[in-house]
């Protein structure tokens, strides 16, 4: 039992957010009742955080100094595939917003050296863009989130309210059919919403492991999105929902 629970904690820590169906798949020979008992015991021991439909890593809830580093080593090939697809949408002279996060950082790493006005809330994105000669890169003022290495808060939101974007590349923590796209920090959710209202084309970058999981703060629904770029593993039900909302999937 202890070994199984340790393996369960390791799985949840690796992924950050895990649905109960993912847990069942990882432990196919264990009954649902036993798995739910395990989750309850681990939650009471403060080793994970139970949520409706699954569980979260404690690091996702409270933040740790290596939080972004942990994300950057998960699903590396999927993030690279998403970044390469997103790259094909970028045109010279467009005004672009690059959200914070490990997937947008992968996009910043291969961003073309061409004339673009770029705003980014991600310090890691800015670091990747610093060696390019032609884009003009702006970081909005605001409060530093040391766990995600991003800028958010009132000042950043007010600054971005005055900028109009051709394209916004937005990162999300997860998607649930009832709550839409969500993340774990309220100010970051508001910043994303602000940018999307100011953007001509809203593009979500999301690997397929994030579907079917809930988080705390709502960003938007499918009807607010123009394009979703993923890794080719999105479930059929999600693809059908995208089609119903006229969302292009790449």
Instruction: Please write the tens of the pLDDT for every residue from 160-197.
Output: 999 999 999 999 988 999 999 998 788 899 999 999 99
CA distances from 29 to 5, 25, 92, 159, 176 (A): 14, 9, 54, 53, 27
**Residue 50 — very low, low, confident or very high, per pLDDT cuts 50/70/90?**
confident
Q: Is the pLDDT of residue 79 over 70?
A: yes
Q: Which of 118, 124, 167 is nearest to 140 (CA)?
A: 118
Q: What does the block give as tokens for 83?
A: 């970044």
What is d(CA 164, CA 197) in angstroms, rounded to the nearest whole number? 9
**Sheet (strand 54-57) strand order:** 17-19, 54-57, 48-51
What is d(CA 174, CA 192) in angstroms, rounded to the nearest whole number? 14
CB 189 within 8 A of CB 182: yes
Can you give the pTM of this predicted structure? 0.74
3-class secondary structure, 108: helix
Q: What are the pLDDT digits (tens) for 126-157?
A: 999 998 999 999 999 988 887 778 898 999 99
DSSP state of 169: E
What is d(CA 203, CA 86) in angstroms, rounded to the nearest whole number? 9
What is d(CA 53, CA 137) in angstroms, rounded to the nearest whole number? 40
**Residue 115 — very low, low, confident or very high, per pLDDT cuts 50/70/90?**
very high
Q: What are the pLDDT digits (tens) for 88-113?
A: 999 999 999 999 988 999 999 999 99
């Amino acid at each position: 039992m202890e070994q199984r629970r340790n393996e369960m904690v390791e799985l949840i820590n690796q992924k950050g957010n895990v649905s109960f169906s993912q847990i069942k798949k990882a432990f196919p020979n264990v009954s649902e009742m036993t798995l739910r008992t395990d989750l309850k015991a681990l939650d009471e021991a403060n080793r994970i955080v139970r949520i409706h439909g699954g569980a979260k890593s404690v690091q996702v809830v409270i933040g740790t100094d290596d939080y972004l580093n942990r994300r950057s080593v998960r699903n590396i090939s999927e993030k690279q595939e998403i970044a390469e697809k997103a790259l094909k949408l970028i045109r010279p002279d467009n005004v672009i917003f690059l959200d914070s996060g490990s997937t947008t950082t992968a996009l910043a790493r291969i961003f073309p050296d061409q004339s673009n006005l770029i705003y980014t809330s991600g310090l890691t994105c800015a670091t990747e863009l610093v060696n390019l000669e032609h884009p003009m890169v702006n970081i909005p003022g605001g409060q530093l989130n040391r766990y995600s290495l991003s800028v958010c808060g009132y000042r950043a939101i007010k600054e971005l309210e005055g900028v109009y974007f051709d394209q916004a590349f937005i990162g999300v923590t997860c998607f649930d059919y009832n709550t839409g796209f969500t993340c774990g920090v309220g100010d970051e959710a508001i910043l994303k919403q602000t940018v999307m209202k100011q953007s001509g084309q809203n593009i979500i970058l999301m690997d397929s492991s994030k579907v079917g999981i809930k988080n705390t703060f709502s960003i938007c629904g499918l009807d607010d999105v123009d394009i979703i770029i993923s890794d080719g593993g999105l479930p059929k039900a999600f693809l059908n929902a995208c089609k119903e909302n006229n969302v292009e999937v790449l």
